[in-house]
Amino acid sequence: MLLRRLERQPHTFGQAGKLTPSDIHTIDAIGLEGTMLMSELASRLGVTKGAITQLIDKLQAKALVTRSPHPQDSRSSIVSLTELGKEAYVAHEAMHLAYYEQLRTQLSEQEIEVFEKSIDILNTVLHDMLNH
């Protein structure tokens, strides 16, 4: 229920202004890899390519990402972060780290290991769930 609510609420990251969860997940994926193709983003985020076009249009309008042509394949476009986009990415990473630290203060090292193992299992369970 909490995650549901969180995943609807925009949040401010650095100078980039308010970003929706979809926005920041997109920026996160790009930032993690450096650059991304539209189709890679679609499969990574689990949405259609049409959705990615719209998302990237929006982020480009906000000057958070840029599209550049692929040198070998002129159908593809390479998406990367602008300086402003990188700032949002870093701010988001910092936030994650802060929450991870908060977890670490309340759990021992062994407990964290168990937690991570549990999350892995949960991950496969949820994956099964998605594929019915």
Partner DNA sequence: GGATTACGTTTAGTTACTAAACTAAAAATG
Partner DNA sequence: CATTTTTAGTTTAGTAACTAAACGTAATCC
Residues in touch with a copy of itself (CB under 8 A): 1-7, 9, 21, 25, 44-46, 99, 102-103, 106-107, 111, 114-115, 117-118, 121-123, 125-130
Look at residue 57 and give the partner it binds from a copy of itself, DNA, none, a contact being a CB closer than 5 to 8 Å depending on partner kind: DNA
Give every CB contact of residue 55 below 8 A, 6+ residues apart in sequence. Answer: 22, 23, 26, 41
Looking up tokens 């949040």 gives 11
Of the pair 36, 91, the CB lying nearest DNA is at: 36
Q: Quick check: 80 and 65 in contact, CB under 8 A?
A: yes
Of the pair 53, 87, the CB lying nearest DNA is at: 53
Q: Tell me the three state secondary structure of residue 75.
A: coil
Note the residues at the interface with DNA (CB under 7 A): 8, 10, 20-23, 37-40, 46-57, 67, 70, 72-77
Of the pair 39, 123, the CB lying nearest DNA is at: 39
Tokens of 120: 């892995």
Of the pair 77, 82, the CB lying nearest DNA is at: 77
CB of 75 to a copy of itself, least distance (A): 26
Cα separation, 93 vs 118, whole angstroms: 23
Give every CB contact of residue 22 below 8 A, 6+ residues apart in sequence. Answer: 45, 55
CB of 76 to a copy of itself, least distance (A): 23
